[in-house]
Amino acid sequence: MTKRKGILTLVLTAVFIAVCAFVVFVGIGKTKTGSMENIILGLDLAGGVSITYETVDENPSAEDMADTVYKLQMRADSYSTESEVYQEGSNRISIEIPGVSDANEVLEELGNPGTLQFVTTTGDVVLTGTDVENAEAGTYTDQTTGATMYIVALTLTDAGREAFAEATADNIGKQIAIIYDDTVVSSPTVQDTISDGNAQITGMSSFEEADELASMIRIGALNLELNEIRSTVVGAKLGSQAISSSLIAGAIGLAIVCVLMMIVYLVPGIVASLSLIIYTLLILLVLNAFDITMSLSGIAGIVLSIGMAVDANVIIYARIREEIAAGRPVKSAVKIGFQKALSAIVDGNVTTLIAAAILMWRGTGMVRGFAQTLAIGIVLSMFTALVVTRLIMYALVALGMTKESYYGRAKTRKTIPFLEKKAVCFLIPIVIFVIGIASMAIQHFNGNQIFNYSLEFVGGTSTTVTFNEDMSIEELDAQVAPVIEEVTGDSNIQMQKIADSTQVVIKTRELSLEERSAMNSALEDNFDVDTEEITAESISSTVSNEMKWNAIVSVIIAGICMLIYIWFRFSDVRFAASAVLALLHDVLIVLAFYAVFRVSVGSTFIACILTIVGYSINATIVIFDRIRENLKNEGSKADLKELVNRSITQTLTRSIYTSLTTFIMIVVLFILGVSSIREFAAPLMVGIVAGAYSSVCLTGAIWFILRKRLSKKTSD
């Protein structure tokens, strides 16, 4: 890069930052397009619409209710992945959707039975919505006219495939109408027997129309007919303090990380700070552009991703310092440093991106929302590290900033004998696992749940109270919550205001009739409420069994896919096996923390575990990349134990600084955040420490053991 191009690059970078900052903080036009204010907030931060349905059947079966709740959750997810659907009483279902203030926008679609039928000309129903396994919108080009046609491609279940094969065989030359909600959407003529379980609906005028129909078909017909009995606009579950404190925590954490990077890495640290600022602005713009709902856990996840974005820069700068220490001039060291850092950055991020893709494919609700945010963070992190950081560094070099003192050089460190201490390293987590299992056993024998499950996981009682005056969420938390806690003996309380009224919905653990009566009396004594107007219903969990199972299956599939990718990239299954075992270690450590300290296991629990999985694999890949490089350079004659110890030592600085910067972000969030944020931040801090420990102390040792033992078996 020439000096002129270097100046131009820096000027364009400054302009880019200024434009992005203006759009994020001010917005464009009267609607403030792109502004941070327009990011959709979740129920916990901004409230939304609450709709309650009652089944026409007065005594529906538990199975039909559970199935209907799940399908309504899938429908609600089309509005926001932060939507909540739960059973209320024996025959009611409540839906809460953030970012919507007009219930009429969603009432008709959500409660629509969505009946799908394949009907022959004689009136026989061949298939129904439950026979469809999947539906996807697509396009094809008409061979005669060349026009683009829009379709919905259907994949049938095994039962549907057999029934459709028989029906098409019996109706060749005849039409089979596809009817959705009593409307014929397509009437194709059967040309041949369709035995592979695939069918198509044609006749849509646009891809959007096809995609909307595919979405509704995927959900399938509701098992129960529903009547809407009430709809209200509900306020945020948390006060405005939650947003402001989280944003302040993010700003402070980002500032601390930038200062730390500049102190440690000098000029490259300044470049890293600029890249982090660009990264933060871009992620806010993308969240706005794709209408991704941001909940409190989402804010925490973004703050965490800022800390993780440091990682790529640290890897690059460590490589540059190594090249300078090897005697290369700064210009060459910068170029070679980026080249050598590329494989570790790409492998680490692609591995996590694979996990995000699987979670988006298989996950539901919050899991899918988390995966979207994770994927955005990964892509933007790679872009800022490999493009923005690279351009700025090259520009500075072109402008003559080539003194070694501006960059520093890697210090020659004595190789630390990590493998010699592997017995102790393995013993420490085993002790923690035993403590965690013992805690779970004690809780079980005492008749308690092994984890402190919150309302999202176990349900409880929803009580609607009409107060005599309007109170803010902060006032409710300070004045009403202690009264409720004294009756229930449980701090797990959620309160939500109903708009344009003094009514408040109070959700607690499941209360007995005596406890409900005691709570009513306490509210009357302390706030002079009319107990005749208090209503209470038992509510189910908002995290259904299907959602839990989908999350578990998603993580398992993601783990397998990551294992395959690492196996492929490193040409050694032992690298993959070691990485997966390290992930298992990190998750078990965090689960032990949840069990021992009785931290509430709520909606953020799944996001916390997934975050730790994504964070840990990145750290492990960096060490494995160095082992791979050293093996390639030294060949089969190298002392394997010494090589592993040296590889870990060479990447130790990176491991420390990356973990430290991420830890700082979460600590600030923990200190300044509200209680629910602390419940998310505390396990994350444990997970960061566990991830750093497993990467440095366990993965190399596990790989070494597997390599030695498998090599012996092969030689035998």
Q: Which two tokens stand for residue 146?
A: 């060349």
Residue 239 clears pLDDT 60, i.e. is over it: no
pLDDT tens per residue, range 282-331: 988 888 887 777 776 666 667 666 766 788 888 888 889 889 988 899 99
> Domain check: are 666 and 634 in the same one?
yes
Domain shared by 503 and 371, yes or no: no
- Counted domains in the chain: 4
Structural domain contains residue 649: yes
The answer to whether position 429 is within a domain reads no
DSSP 416: P
**DSSP classification of residue 190:** P
The answer to whether 510 and 461 have CB atoms below 8 angstroms apart is: yes
pLDDT value at 615 more than 80: no
State the Cα–Cα distance between residues 351 and 373, nearest whole angstrom.
16
- In a domain, residue 637? The reply is yes
Domain of residue 70, CATH code: 3.30.70.3400
CATH for 589: 1.20.1640.10
How would you label 615-639 residue by residue, b for 16+ Cβ within 10 Å and e otherwise?
bbbbbbbbbbbbbbebbeeeeeeee
Return the CATH number at 179.
Answer: 3.30.1360.200
| Residues 565 and 690 reside in one and the same domain | yes
Kindly state whether residues 274 and 375 are assigned to the same domain. Answer: yes
Residues 270 and 351 in one domain: yes
CA pair distance 612, 78, nearest whole angstrom: 27
523 has pLDDT over 90 = yes
Q: What is the pLDDT of residue 303?
A: 65
Clarify whether residues 80 and 209 are in a common domain: no
365 inside domain: yes
pLDDT the model gives residue 716: 45
Claim to verify: residue 73 and residue 128 sit in the same structural domain? no
- Mean pLDDT to the nearest integer, 611-635: 83
pLDDT tens figures, 524-549: 999 999 988 898 888 887 776 766 77
User: Going edge to edge, which strands form the sheet with 148-156?
Assistant: 132-141, 148-156, 198-204
Q: What is the mean pLDDT of residues 579-589?
A: 89
Statement to judge: residues 354 and 499 lie in one domain? no
Cβ atoms < 10 Å from Cβ of 78: 17
Q: What integer pLDDT is reported at residue 467 of this predicted model?
A: 92
Average pLDDT over residues 572-589: 89
The overall average pLDDT reported for the chain is: 83
First vs last C-alpha separation in the chain: 56
DSSP letter assigned to residue 28: B
Going by pLDDT thresholds of 50, 70 and 90, the confidence category of residue 572 is confident
Query: Residue 712 is inside which H or E element, if any?
Result: helix 700-715
pTM, rounded to two decimals: 0.76
What sign does the CA torsion over 22, 25, 29, 32 have?
Answer: positive
**Span 66-113, pLDDT tens digits:** 878 877 887 777 777 778 888 888 888 888 888 766 666 666 666 555
Q: Is residue 2 part of a domain?
A: no
403 beta partners: none
Is residue 690 domain-shared with residue 569, that is, in the same domain? yes
For every residue of 317-330, DSSP letters joined together read: HHHHHHHHHTT--H
Q: Which of 489, 516, 539 is the last residue of a domain?
A: 539
Question: Same domain for 259 and 371?
Answer: yes
Confidence band of 715 (pLDDT split at 50, 70, 90):
very low
* Confidence at residue 230, expressed as pLDDT on a 0 to 100 scale: 78
Task: Give dist(CA 569, CA 572) in Å, integer.
Answer: 8
Same domain assignment for residues 335 and 400: yes
- Shared domain for 132 and 164, answered yes or no, is yes
Is position 449 within any domain? Answer: no
Look at residue 86 and tell me if it is in a domain: yes
Q: Domain of 212?
A: 116-221
Q: Is residue 682 domain-resident? A: yes
Higher pLDDT, 116 or 433: 433
Residue 47 pLDDT > 80, yes or no?
no
